[in-house]
Structure 1
Amino acid sequence: MKPICQRISRTLEIFVFCAVAVLLTCAPSSAHFSEGTKVRTILVAEDGGDLVAIVRVPAPLVFSDLVGRAQVDQVSLSSPFLRLESTGTGVRYRIDMEAVARDRPGFEDRLLDALVFSQAGLDLTASLTGFTVHARRPQQVLDSLDAAQAAVRGDSTSLDPVFGAAVVDYAVRIESPDPAGDIEIRSGYAPLLPGPGVAIENHLVDARTQPPLSSTAPGQLETPVVLDGSRLSTFLHFIYQGMLHILEGLDHVLLVIALALGVGATRKLIYLVTAFTIGHSVTLIATFLGATPAWPWFIPAVEAAIAASVLYAAVAAMVRKSGSVLIFAGIGLLHGLGFSFVLGDILGRDTPDLVPALLAFNVGIEVGQLLILAVTLSVVFCLEKLATPALRPARLGTLAAIAILSSWWVAERLGGVVSAV
């Protein structure tokens, strides 16, 4: 039995060493907020018995098929509605507003074909009723049919907007046999390849119910999304989004792992996890109530502090000093800001149905947190029972990897703070 345990121990040591190397070379510093996040808003409502949709879309998604083809073929982007200009640092595209005015039907067709609406597996016929081109994303929120229609009735910019910053508001009327029924939405164009640091999100507003229902969907809607008017499915959607965020956020995952390895399955773990939960719940809610400063360095500083909290948890676990309830409540405050940056970037403070979305997102975070704890403690339990000599090197190796990686994040994110000051 002893030789078997020794072999397992040696194998785990090699595995941990390799894991450290992989983490150091492959794991990026993934911040929760990116200036490259592009949000498309789609509001669906009934108007006079007809089904209507108002869309606010970043201009590149209206030309995603052309952009994607140019990226694959490595050629210049070509469209009669775009013009190329030289700048001091290179070249960029602008929307040619004169070309849009000359061929308005052609531009309307491109908008109309950007999204496909369907019910019961059948694509629905739609007609464009208006559009407006903005130089940048408007501050006006599309939280109701009246607000959305007012945005579309506004005047387009008179100057040629920069293609990457321009936003288009447009409205379509959809021929539907059941305006109140489930509706499926998907992209009508092939996807483009987002550049480094660019993420695409969709904010979906179902205004056929009162108050309207909000949900989100990542990507370019190559996979259809369904609006069914169900508050239960919307609540479950945000639980899933909360789970997804903490499981995809490597810094959050590593913090919880370090906490579990430092305290183990003890009563103190319950106290510390509860403190962390209360802390991040407070800042997640407070941020949506406007209790965060607008300083340009604030978000990078929070991201650096989150990385430092992971480093603290790893080092504290290595020296068997797990920290106090107050410390982990403070860490929770930091991570709650990180959670809020992601949700706020998509929904915003003025989104309809905000309170249930916040509650469900927070529940999802807790479910994801419990899953991480359960997996970590289960691995520790199995090692204790099956390969006790391997437990210590596996534990210390994992904590060392977390400490090294989080140190790298701290340095990297502090660079972002300096550049923002």
Structure 2
Amino acid sequence: MRIIINVVLILTVLFGHAGIARAHFAQGTKLRTILIAPHEESLTAYVRAPLPLVFSDVVTSAQASSQALDTPFLYFEETGAGGRYRLSMEAIAADESAFRERLERALSWSQNGREIAARIVAMRVHPRMPADSFDSREAAEAAIAGASSGIDPVFGEAYVDFAVSLSPPDAAGPVAVRSAYPPLPIPDGVTIDNHIIDSRGDVPVSYTRPGQLEQPAVIDTSLWRTVGEFVWQGVLHIVEGLDHVFLVICLALGIGARGRLLWIVTAFTLGHSVTLVATFLGATPSWPWFIPAVEAAIAATVLYAAVAALMGRMDSILLIAGVGLLHGLGFSFVLGDLLGRDAPNLVPALAAFNIGIEIGQLMIIAATLLAVAFATRLSASLTPVLRAATLAGIAVVSAWWVVERSATLVA
């Protein structure tokens, strides 16, 4: 009994803080879109970026020196909730060439290791991330064609669209892009994803790269790159999603290395595949409370799985398929941010992401069963105790998640 209590306490300490901050609808996700398209004998790159990314050198310098942001384009203001910076549209109008040069230098372009010169041809500032699409040349040009914000946008909320002309030696060949400024200090709970689209071919291809592009991302017309990237994203999502990991561990511990485990996992897979696809077909509601409710329900399914495994009642294939339906919604929230529901290569990206999820599930199941086998070799009598302690710890943590995530529904 003491062993069970100790393991439960350890699990609670390790994972008790992985609550709503690790939910799938990460409100702090910032998306940068980079699209390249042919233009006569050269290329045009269209970029939609959070404004702080094009001032990351200023921010990092200010942080290192503990000084204010040193640029004429930003000014500080005090509010009732504290201080914040705004972008000065008047300063941009007074020295537009300097602001354009900052945008022009934000990204570094190369081909076969040789730098490609970039010349800015258009720009537009938005007070927040625009709702219109930016996944084709026509959409990007329409988004940039309008007038910039008439007010001074809040620095942390503003976005900028801009287009640069590129003249690589081979306009049809792979082009690499990376950030030319130092990485921005990112607050807890905020992530950055880069949606990269190549529309030079008959069928546009796209993939997503997390982070600030400290390392170059290659843009080419290879559909296999899209497939490979989204398989990897699927693996990462389930491996890094603690609620999904816990659920799969509960399935493995509740059933063990028996043939029925295959049927249960297949039911879960079919369930989440249905809702993952249905969400991208527009079959889910857009009510503001819907996503938080799904996240709370996902936490409840982990609690159910842990209790059912403890009681030896992990038998209902139909019920596990229903659990899969909820988890599929969670997967779709992430993929929607990564891919965009109007993006090219939607079908292969969906399929690749789903394959990645299955690979991740199999990895977790294999690791769990190997751990059980190893523990059994060490001490057959201790294995049931460790199994019960692990499931009890998962139950405690998931119960806390239910409470924490449910609180967002009434906040």
TM-score (norm 2): 0.96
Q: Which runs of 5+ in 2 are unaligned?
A: none
CA distance in 2, matches of 1:403, 1:368: 22
Q: Which amino acid aligns with 1:133?
A: V
Deviations along 1:362-415, one digit per CA (max 9) or x if unpaired, are 010001101111111112122233421221111011111111111111111011
Aligned residue for 2:351, secondary structure, equals helix
Residue 302 to residue 14, structure 1, CA distance change in 2 (3 Å) = closer
Q: Retained in 2: the 8 A contact 1:23–1:405?
A: no
Q: Which amino acid aligns with 1:265?
A: A
Q: Which amino acid aligns with 2:240?
A: E
Aligned residue for 1:108, secondary structure, equals helix
Q: What is the deviation of 1:26? A: 4.7
410-419 vs 71-80, which deviates more? 71-80
137-146 vs 199-208, which deviates more? 137-146
Q: Retained in 1: the 8 A contact 2:272–2:326?
A: yes
* 1:138 and 2:91 correspond: no
CA distance in 1, matches of 2:246, 2:78: 45
Q: Retained in 2: the 8 A contact 1:185–1:225?
A: yes
CA distance in 2, matches of 1:259, 1:76: 53
Aligned residue for 1:389, secondary structure, equals coil
The match for 2:324 among 326, 332, 336 is 332
Q: What is the deviation of 1:203? A: 0.5
Deviations along 1:43-88, one digit per CA (max 9) or x if unpaired, are 0111112021000011111111112233343332231111222222
The match for 1:22 among 13, 32, 49 is 13
Q: Retained in 1: the 8 A contact 2:35–2:198?
A: yes
Query: Where do 1:121-200 residues align within 5 Å?
Result: 121-200=113-192
1:209: which partner in 2?
A: 201
CA distance in 2, matches of 1:56, 1:413: 32
Aligned residue for 1:63, secondary structure, equals helix
CA distance in 2, matches of 1:279, 1:411: 25
* 1:256 and 2:212 correspond: no
Residue 302 to residue 72, structure 1, CA distance change in 2 (3 Å) = farther
Q: What is the deviation of 1:17? A: 5.2
Q: Retained in 2: the 8 A contact 1:82–1:93?
A: yes
Q: What is the deviation of 1:191? A: 1.1
Q: What is the deviation of 1:15? A: 7.7
CA distance in 2, matches of 1:223, 1:328: 41
The match for 1:227 among 219, 223, 226 is 219
Aligned residue for 1:362, secondary structure, equals helix
* 1:35 and 2:40 correspond: no
CA distance in 2, matches of 1:159, 1:46: 34
The match for 1:283 among 275, 289, 304 is 275
Deviations along 1:166-219, one digit per CA (max 9) or x if unpaired, are 111100011200111111110011111222221111110111122211100111
Q: Retained in 2: the 8 A contact 1:23–1:401?
A: no
Aligned residue for 2:305, secondary structure, equals helix
Q: What is the deviation of 1:338? A: 0.5
Q: Which runs of 5+ in 1 are unaligned?
A: 1-8
Q: Retained in 1: the 8 A contact 2:19–2:404?
A: no
236-245 vs 139-148, which deviates more? 139-148
2:79: which partner in 1?
A: 87
Residue 252 to residue 25, structure 1, CA distance change in 2 (3 Å) = closer
CA distance in 1, matches of 2:275, 2:68: 45
The match for 1:61 among 53, 67, 70 is 53
Aligned residue for 2:83, secondary structure, equals strand
Q: Retained in 1: the 8 A contact 2:12–2:397?
A: no
Q: What is the deviation of 1:158? A: 1.4
Q: Retained in 1: the 8 A contact 2:128–2:157?
A: yes
Q: Retained in 2: the 8 A contact 1:318–1:399?
A: yes
Q: Which amino acid aligns with 1:367?
A: I
Aligned residue for 1:143, secondary structure, equals coil
305-314 vs 385-394, which deviates more? 385-394
CA RMSD, aligned part only? Answer: 1.8
CA distance in 2, matches of 1:295, 1:150: 29
Q: Retained in 1: the 8 A contact 2:206–2:344?
A: yes
Deviations along 1:307-347, one digit per CA (max 9) or x if unpaired, are 11001101111111114111111110110010010110122
1:245: which partner in 2?
A: 237
2:40: which partner in 1?
A: 48
CA distance in 2, matches of 1:97, 1:43: 26
1:3: which partner in 2?
A: none
Residue 70 to residue 227, structure 1, CA distance change in 2 (3 Å) = same
Q: What is the deviation of 1:141? A: 1.1
Q: Which amino acid aligns with 1:318?
A: L
1:271: which partner in 2?
A: 263
CA distance in 1, matches of 2:263, 2:12: 33
TM-score (norm 1): 0.94
CA distance in 2, matches of 1:398, 1:18: 10
2:295: which partner in 1?
A: 303
1:414: which partner in 2?
A: 406
CA distance in 1, matches of 2:47, 2:401: 37
Number of equivalenced pairs: 410
1:379: which partner in 2?
A: 371
Aligned residue for 2:382, secondary structure, equals helix
Deviations along 1:289-311, one digit per CA (max 9) or x if unpaired, are 11121211111111111111001
Q: Which amino acid aligns with 2:197?
A: V
Sequence identity, in percent?
A: 55
CA distance in 2, matches of 1:406, 1:95: 42
Q: What is the deviation of 1:18? A: 6.2
CA distance in 2, matches of 1:374, 1:95: 52
Q: What is the deviation of 1:288? A: 0.9
CA distance in 2, matches of 1:351, 1:398: 41
